[in-house]
Amino acid sequence: MDYAELEARLIDIRRQLHQFPELSLEEYETTKRIKEWLTEKNIVIKRTTLKTGVFADIKGKYDSPKVAIRADIDALPIEEETNLPYASKVKGKMHACGHDFHTAALIGAAYLLQKSKDTLPGSIRLLFQPAEESGGGAELVKADEQLKDIDYIIGLHNKPDLPVGTIGLKNGAMMAAVDRFIVEINGKGSHAALPHAGHDPIVASAHLITAIQTIVSRNVSPLEGAVISITRIVGGNTWNVIPNKVTLEGTIRTFSNSIRQEVKKRFELVVQQTSLAFGQQAKVHWYPGPPALINDLKVNQSLHRTAEKQLLTVIDPEPSMGGEDFSHYLEDIRGAFVFFGTNGTEDWHHPKFTIDELALMPAAKFLYESAKDLLKLTNKKDIGGDRK
Ligand code: NI
């Protein structure tokens, strides 16, 4: 298969996936197709306890070192509005984050690696990960021990605001840690005309919402990034009754474990003490998402060299306040995540989100070349040593 043939094939694969998007943990048809595309080239599928997602091995000259390449495969509950000839055929579901692009690029890399496997100085594990959008997919992969023997791991995400041929490589923190919270403020309801007879949770909430914003401005260094957003307020039923309870919901985004812990600690304190000052009881429910995504310096340097050899334009991207569960892998394994320019008109999760398919082959080639270069780079005593 020459370049043009492979490109046509990958575009076809991507369009097939695009027309049949499946939500997190429902990726059954996607899983089936990925397996077919891999076995077509005699790539060995690994056993797994996961119901969706595919793990496969390409064994080179040696069993180790091992480089894992990850693509996420799930779509979103969004109604597509692109009017493309290959738009989603499933009502209310769409590949609006380009995971179809990631999957097709990894199939392309797999084909190239399989073709040159006799010359690989190590082995490759392909991870087609389910449930990135809903969260939990990376943890399932880890729990299934798909990464136990992996030395390095890489992955990419399309980036619509970068042109095709541009790659974003970031040393250190690149995407935020995600925490979701629900706060219950339990006051005491009363007649609206007799507020002194109760403890008004609406007034307490107003103070609390304002006080919470001082955590980022007064407790986090101005040189660090963090955000707290309250996105939902529920309380009261009518105009002349002060309710018993107000519920607030929102999210905290941070870029390091220490700041994450500090912000959460301050949040608890401000919520509890402010509520107390108004004679009320608060309860905070935490729903932790992925940790901050922190790239390994040495792996990033290797990717940088690979990108330059491939004549890609390398930029240092702004970190994203969004979360990405690839970060779970980087807690245990040296690796890096990159942004790959796809020249789209809309950002991720938009109903008119598109990708320039000219980026597909460069992405596949980048994953292929990067994995090969990482296999060559491996120096056993370096692995897993100093990164914590
Ligand atoms: Ni995504």
Same domain, 254 and 379: no
Judged against a pLDDT cut of 70, whether residue 262 lies above it is answered with yes
- pLDDT for 16: 98
Judged against a pLDDT cut of 60, whether residue 78 lies above it is answered with yes
In a domain, 348, yes or no: yes
Same domain, 227 and 324: no
Same domain, 21 and 83: yes
Judged against a pLDDT cut of 80, whether residue 227 lies above it is answered with yes
* Distance between Cα 76 and ligand 1 center (Å): 9
Same domain, 264 and 284: yes
pLDDT digits (tens, 9 = 90+) for 82-108: 999 999 999 999 999 999 999 999 999
Q: For the chain, give the percent of residues with pLDDT over 90.
A: 96
Phi, psi of 240, rounded to the nearest 5 degrees: -120, 20
* Distance between Cα 203 and ligand 1 center (Å): 39
Same domain, 35 and 136: yes
pLDDT band at 386 (very low <50, low <70, confident <90, very high): very low
The DSSP secondary structure of 42-99, one letter per residue, reads: TPEEPP-S-SS-EEEEEE-SSS-SEEEEEEE---BS-------TT---STT-B--S-H
Q: How many residues does the chain have?
A: 388
Same domain, 242 and 375: no
Same domain, 42 and 125: yes
- pLDDT for 378: 65
Q: Looking at the 3D structure of the chain, how many domains does it have? A: 2
Same domain, 259 and 329: no
Domain containing 17 equals 3-173+292-383
In a domain, 346, yes or no: yes
Same domain, 166 and 181: no
- pLDDT for 323: 93
Judged against a pLDDT cut of 80, whether residue 388 lies above it is answered with no
* Distance between Cα 96 and ligand 1 center (Å): 8
Measure the CA–CA gap between 363 and 152, rounded to whole angstroms. Answer: 18
* Distance between Cα 7 and ligand 1 center (Å): 22
CATH number at residue 41: 3.40.630.10
Using the 3D structure, point to which of 227, 259, 288 is the last residue of a domain. Answer: 288
Judged against a pLDDT cut of 70, whether residue 381 lies above it is answered with no
Supply the pTM of this predicted model: 0.91
Check: CB of residue 10 under 8 Å from CB of residue 364. Answer: yes
**Token pair of 196 as six digits:** 């002194």
- pLDDT for 289: 95
* Distance between Cα 207 and ligand 1 center (Å): 36
* Distance between Cα 371 and ligand 1 center (Å): 21
In a domain, 388, yes or no: no
In a domain, 22, yes or no: yes
Same domain, 11 and 140: yes
pLDDT digits (tens, 9 = 90+) for 6-52: 999 999 999 999 999 999 999 999 999 999 999 999 999 999 999 99
CATH number at residue 281: 3.30.70.360
- pLDDT for 379: 55
Tell me how crowded residue 377 is: count the other CB atoms within 10 A of its CB. Answer: 19
Which three-class secondary structure state does DSSP give residue 111? helix
pLDDT digits (tens, 9 = 90+) for 176-212: 999 999 999 999 999 999 999 999 999 999 999 999 9
